[in-house]
Amino acid sequence: MFAQVKPLLWMAGWRAVGTPVPLLANRPHPLEGRMTPAMFGYMRQLARGDDKDENEAIKAELARHATREGFTLERMFIERLRADEESAFFALTDALKSTNVKHVIVPSLWHFGRLPGLQAAMRDHIEREIGARLWVVQSSSMPRSSAS
């Protein structure tokens, strides 16, 4: 029994004889700065098959932006627009409902859809109905490549 108590006393800052020792007050706590909140990413895969590099660049930019804002990009939900796959948006909303993640990052609102009403409805669903915060990297409603 005493062998089990001794480590607890030692971890609490007490020596085996009962004299207090400093608790490393001038050192940071080992968990401080390590636990960053998680964030999910969502993007619509570009329609052209030869844009694999651009899709990867978008994912990398979202990860960099999340890190800059103090988050960890935990998972990407990519809408591939194939009939045989589940909607990535539905998978995203299910994940938001079943986890503690409450932040979503998107490259632009265009990735929700081309129609402004659809963009607003999807944003509203994430923010108001689920209670998550939406981070939009580019506020334009069109992707960079087709805006020119």
Residue 133's SS3 state is: strand
The per-residue pLDDT for range 57-102, each reduced to its tens digit, is 899 999 999 999 999 999 999 998 776 778 999 999 999 999 999 9
Are the C-beta atoms of 141 and 116 separated by less than 8 Å? yes
The per-residue pLDDT for range 100-129, each reduced to its tens digit, is 999 999 999 999 988 999 999 999 999 999
- This prediction has a pTM of 0.68
Residues 32, 28: Cα–Cα separation, whole Å: 7
